[in-house]
Amino acid sequence: MPHSPVVIGVDSSTQSTKALFADAVTGRTLAVGRAPHRVTGTAGAREGDPLEWWQALRSAVAAGLKESGAPASAVTGIAVAGQQHGLVVLGPDRRPLRPALLWNDTRSAPQARALVDALGGPGAWIGRTGSVPVAAVTAAKWQWLRENEPRTAERCAAVRLPHDFLTERLTGAAATDPGDASGTGWYAAATGAYDREILQLLALDEELLPVVAATGGARVGSLTARAADELGLLAGVAVAAGTGDNMSAAVGLGLGGAGLLDHPVLSLGTSGTVFAATRATPADPALSGFAAADGGYLPLACTLNCTLAVDRIATLLGLGRDEAEPGGEAVLLPYLDGERTPDLPGASGLLTGLRHATTPRQLLGAAYEGATVTVLRALDHVLRACGLDPASPAVAARPLRLIGGGARGRAWVETVRRLSGRPLIVPAATELVAIGAAALAAAAASGDDPVAVARAWGTGEGTELAPLERDLATWDRVVTVLDGAAATLLDRPRPRRTQ
């Protein structure tokens, strides 16, 4: 009896790879294969080995295929969603010349500031690319490479994003999509093309870059015989352009032109992000004016310090993740890796407001509050970018979709409810980035709209939580610290290490 068609959605994130096998018709998850990969670096450096990502993808697909029980012949499509912004530089043999500079590598902060000035300030960048460069943006990382490792930059024969690198390993084709390309700093979502003036500023030859497909669900090639052999699949499987992780999560939620528009999402993972799919053109320097995988827009704000930073505080205190209480008078800004929003790449953590009565559980609760306020402050910017008034009762009643690993933690959910005062929807699906990639894979195989595919699957549905009365006292206390002392005390250069 023939097996139902199966698609594979790959989530290649900062620390691991997941390969989700889904029924292409119903969207039912059949299996999820997992494999870790490493992040290395200290003092602002964060790097990863692209070949290790490929090995992790192979392991995750093999595990998922075995668990699913589906024959290799049932797989009709595959797509990769990857961590954004990372800089992968390849030699003529298409092998990495060095480890990739990851999105949370803050060494390129000086280059980001110089690039902003070189083009004429934030307004010029907003007008051309929709976003103002910060340390995370690929353009700043390329500039860092040129200045610090010029011989590597000179030897470079191809520049890729993490998901582009993996897609090319699958197909042999150099292709990307508008969503992930819009996080490079050299692609303009409004025109759908690379910005040649910015490429000249970066001394980056456009021929080193992948072709930009129309959407993340566009078929850009087929699984090669070599890749199929390594993955245990059959050659000829449709491969989608894929996209960035946030864009893929939006697809998995059914957000976009064929689904919900202007509905905000808060993702709690290694980073904290808030975004919405919209048809309005973003023009806010506080946001990244990304493109969506379906050709619309995905205005987004991202913080560097979210679940991992709070977990670190819990470990230091000897507490479990959910052993937290409201912070009382204590304010803890857990900026352990610098910070992107606000743009404080040299930041370190800040603790203030301690009393004799302050307990370890309150300190942990203060870390949750500091991380949550940091990302929620950007919510109003996202709503305005969608053409909405955040103060409107109708807009305030629009539910905030809570996703990512933190959405499964009681302390995170309750902190977001208390500090946002908004209704929440916590989708039942736990792997929305991989699910979105699976929908892109289904679209590449069938020609259907990926957002419509995800909407039909119902993967964005979940538990609805009524709003709580907003804890404005805590909100105001954290904001006062952040706006007052934080800019002075946190944004300090990292000490130089002696050899």
Write the pLDDT tens digit of every residue in 439-462.
999 999 999 999 999 999 999 999
What tens digit of pLDDT does each residue of 483-495 get?
875 556 555 555 4
Q: In this predicted structure, what is the pLDDT of residue 499?
A: 36
For the chain, the domains span 6-248+433-441+452-457
Mean pLDDT, residues 202-210 taken together: 97
Find the Cα–Cα–Cα–Cα dihedral 243, 249, 254, 255, rounded to 10°. -80
Half-sphere exposure of 76 (CA within 13 A, CB side): 17
Task: Tell me what the mean pLDDT of segment 271-285 comes to.
Answer: 91
Average pLDDT score over residue span 19-23:
98
Euclidean distance between the first and the last CA atom of the chain, given in angstroms as a whole number:
66
Active site residue 389: no
Please tell me the predicted confidence (pLDDT) of residue 496: 44
Higher pLDDT, 338 or 442: 442
> Any idea what DSSP says for residue 467?
P
CATH number of the domain at 6-248+433-441+452-457, please?
Answer: 3.30.420.40
Q: What phi and psi, each to the nearest 5 degrees, are found at residue 297?
A: -125, 155
- Express each pLDDT in 75-88 by its tens digit: 999 999 999 999 99
Whether the CB-CB separation of 60 and 10 falls below 8 Å is answered with yes
Q: Are strands 238-240 and 243-244 parallel, antiparallel or unpaired?
A: unpaired
Q: Is 26 exposed, middle or buried (0-12, 13-18, 19+ CB in 10 A)?
A: exposed
Among 167, 188, 141, 209, CA closest to 50: 167
- Sorting pLDDT into bands at 50, 70 and 90, what band is 417? very high
Active-site residue, from 23, 164, 180, 245: 245
- C-alpha–C-alpha distance, residues 17 and 443, integer Å: 22
| DSSP annotation of 279 | S
* Mean pLDDT, rounded, for 360-373: 97
Owner of token pair 């999105």? 103
pLDDT given at position 342: 84
Find where tokens 């949750």 sit.
Answer: 368
Minimal CA–CA distance to 382: which of 394, 364, 400?
A: 400
Closest CA relative to residue 207, chosen from 251, 158, 252, 242 = 158
- pLDDT score of 307: 95
Average pLDDT over residues 410-433: 95
CA distances from 292 to 276, 277, 474, 492 (A): 9, 7, 34, 35
Query: Is this prediction's pTM over 0.85?
Result: yes
Instruction: Give the closest residue to 187 by CA, choosing from 147, 106, 131, 232.
Output: 131
Mean pLDDT for all residues in the chain: 93
Measured distance CA(81)–CA(248) in Å, rounded: 6
Helix-strand-coil split of the chain, %, nearest 5: 40, 20, 40
Token code pair at residue 344: 């404080």
The closest of 13, 18, 11, 142 to 88, measured between CA atoms, is 142
- DSSP structural state of residue 96: B
Instruction: Report the pLDDT value the prediction gives residue 497, as an integer from 0 to 100.
Output: 38
At 496, list the tokens. Answer: 């130089």
Residues 6+ apart with CB under 8 A from 108: 101, 135, 140, 141, 143, 144
Q: Provide the 8-state DSSP code for 486.
A: I
Listed residue (3, 97, 440) closest to 250, CA to CA = 440
Residue-level pLDDT at 94: 93
Q: Which residues on neighbouring strands pair with residue 261, listed in sequence order?
A: none
CB-count exposure of residue 196 (10 Å: 0-12, 13-18, 19+): exposed
